Amino acid sequence: MASLFALVDCNSFYASCERVFRPDLQSRPVVVLSNNDGCIIARSAEAKALGIPMGAPYFKHRNMLRRNGVAVFSSNYALYGDLSARVMNVLGRFSPRMEVYSIDEAFLELSGMPGGAERHARRLRATVLRWTGIPVSVGLGSTRTLAKIANRFAKQQERCRGVFDLDNSLRPELVLNSMPVRDIWGIGRRHARRLEAHGVHTALDFRNMDRNWVKRRMGVTGLHTLLELRGISCFGWERNPGMRKSILSSRSFGRPVECFAQMREAVACHAERVAEKLRRQGSVASGVTVFVETNRFAPGLPQYANSGFAAVHPATLHTPTVLGAALSLLERLFREGYQYKKCGVMLSGLEQEQGRWLSLLDPVPGDHCEQSRLMRAVDGINERWGRDTVRFAASGLERVWTMRQDMRSPRYTSAWAELPVVRAG
């Protein structure tokens, strides 16, 4: 049986998350800002209708947003991450095979569903909305690329009511002809410009191109995209879809950081966070990278950016090991006399904790087991009682460098002190 892919995508995800605990915002335009309240990174449908551009600097549109009664929020990553996990948990009930593609997207296998895939998709959509409060759109196609296009059409056309099956549509060519080539999944800006110069403007135009020309000019990736548009699946199911190849923790500072002590706290905090993420996916890491940089958008200031890498042997999930490597790297990277805007810690060389290869030079397995139990005990305490209930002193107490979030909504689902209050009349 041929595969049938479903792409489930949350509608205006960050804005929808803000509405879950604020029913008064259901018909009001909502926007969410990037780190340090810099740019607009999410817009509800009502905000899009006002012509508010994606990525626009907040300070340039502040007055217009106020005049139009737009609700403005700082990014609330704790809330978005928790609601994303809830959505993915619900989606997993509707398919034996699922791959989480991003915080608000997932691919599902819907081949051979009783009653038909479209009916199954509508039941899925209704259940996600009822159980989480998040609206989603579902696109169905015989390949991932076609499912992506179908999802886009489902969002754009109200008559689809959130679900569209491209393979079973009466005129799939019309759908492909309505999609600009630059918006095809896997077609970057450079290739899009080249294709448009060659007279290729839509997905239908691209589908009808000579495959040899595409392979010569765009490589194997371009050829795979072409074949996917023709209904030939080239991107199958990953063996371990939840396993990321690297994990990063990074944030811009709320205000410039100039002293080593504050930078050390920030790097330590990111080392803690990235180690937590590592354990959450059941992995160990053999490489640590630290980077620091000034604000490249402030040309009047002295500029500096640098990064460093350290190998870790054996591969670890132990926060003190990651922390020690990261702080040693920072000592080599930090330079006085600069106003730093951002830093981050990345783990690489990831492999599964269970089933990994050991060498004769590795410490005895008991040491790793003790470290794993200790770290998971710390994670369990923080999960139950709130983030940073137990933390490393190196990450600081006041953290004056943290990013600005002047308009952040409460962390309704992950902080006891910020639970919503219900009053019975």
Sequence ranges of the domains in the chain: 5-165, 179-230, 247-395
Which CATH class name applies to 247-395? alpha beta
> For residue 305, what are the contacts with CB-CB under 8 A and spacing of at least 6?
291, 292, 293, 294, 296
pLDDT of residue 276: 92
Topology match between the domains 179-230 and 247-395? no
pLDDT of residue 12: 92
pLDDT of residue 420: 82
For the structural domain made of 5-165, what CATH number should be given?
A: 3.30.70.270
Q: Which two tokens stand for residue 155?
A: 């969002």
pLDDT of residue 122: 96
Per-residue pLDDT tens over the stretch 60-98: 999 999 999 999 999 898 899 899 999 999 999 999 889
- Residue count (the chain): 425
Q: Which of 57, 60, 68 is nearest to 30 (CA)?
A: 68
Per-residue pLDDT tens over the stretch 305-339: 999 999 998 899 999 999 999 999 999 999 999 99
Q: Which two tokens stand for residue 297?
A: 């958008």
**pLDDT tens-place values along the chain, 425 residues long:** 578 999 999 999 999 999 999 999 999 999 999 877 889 999 999 999 999 999 999 989 999 999 999 999 998 988 998 999 999 999 999 998 899 888 899 999 998 887 789 999 999 999 999 999 999 999 999 999 999 999 999 998 888 999 999 988 878 999 999 999 999 998 888 999 999 998 999 999 999 999 999 999 999 999 999 999 999 998 877 655 556 788 999 888 878 899 999 999 999 999 999 999 999 888 999 999 999 999 888 878 999 999 999 999 889 999 999 999 999 999 999 999 999 999 999 999 988 877 555 555 555 555 667 888 888 888 888 877 777 788 888 877 666 556 567 788 888 887 778 888 877 76
d(CA 28, CA 317): 44
d(CA 244, CA 352): 10
pLDDT of residue 1: 56
Which CATH class name applies to 179-230? mainly alpha
d(CA 83, CA 104): 9
d(CA 248, CA 271): 9
